Amino acid sequence: MAAARATLPLPRLPVHPSPRSHLKPFPSLSARRSSAAAGVAASLRLGDVIEAQQFDRGALTEIFEVAREMDALERGTTCRGAGRSRVLEGYLMATLFYEPSTRTRLSFEAAMRRLGGEVLTTENAREFSSAAKGETLEDTIRTVEGYSDIIVLRHFESGAARRAAATADIPVINAGDGPGQHPTQALLDVYTIEREIGTLDGIKLGLVGDLANGRTVRSLAYLIAKYQNIKIYFVSPDVVKMKRIDLYEAARGKYIVDKKVLDVLPKHAVIMHPLPRLDEITVDVDSDPRAAYFRQAKNGLYIRMALLKLLLVGR
């Protein structure tokens, strides 16, 4: 797969711009590819978020630093009753979801609102939009970008996010494209591993489930490979990330994390899952401190706050 929709060394924008008058048009696909070779600027600003391969370690480090800032901001707001950030005030995010979603859509919308922005949303665009009348994705994107400053797209076809990004002159974030990729899930997964274990180099990672068709594990494998001395297993003693196996009913019941697994799992291990779960992890595992999947879901808010900030106003 092409590795190139990467980080763009664009200039820092003011914190409170008038978004439509100050936000510069994003370069064409060819211009972005050539800019990607320049690496990460001191103040990172992204073009689109399409696939895991577009990030190098420098980009990941900065995204995670901003995510930690967002975590601190959110905790401070909650604990002290401080006012919400207004860094994205005046910006509009459109969420176009052609597939069902709970955590991804709501966390993006919460992230935008936490930073002072506004949201235009459609929950089932495949059925309740002009797509049901036969409108092409490209025409939908051209229309929606006239109403918004950034588009978050989930689609049932692999490659749909890349098509949308090639069409739009505003940033596009891939929130999952069929069996293709889910880069923001991978970002929050790697961020969670770092927060839980304290390092990303030298870890052992177990991936369990429908790996051939699982976009979350595909993106995670690309991202985690940026680090050194990584070992990936189908079953691992350090980090276990379950992938739901709803596409393969025959496999149900064969891969389950339960109390018996916990008994042989190291104390420093971490159990992760992109959710929703079926029967892959029993509910009695939830109380174990190694069960990180709800903390993982919360980290999705901070990662997506960081991405929206970086995409729209820079560091």
Residues marked active site are found at: 103-104, 133, 154, 182
Q: How far is CA 100 from the centre of its chain?
A: 16
- The tokens for 83 are 């006012």
Phi-psi region of 39 (alpha: psi -120 to 50; beta: other; left: phi over 0): left
Spatial separation of the C-alpha atoms in residues 101 and 130, rounded to whole Å: 20
Q: Say which DSSP state 150 is in.
A: E
Tell the residue number behind the tokens 């909650």, with chain if given. 78
H/E element holding 107?
helix 103-114
The whole-angstrom separation of Cα 24 and Cα 254 is: 52
Exposure pattern of 243-275 as b/e (b: 16+ CB <10 Å)?
A: bbbeeeeeeeeebbbeeebbeebeeebbbbbbb
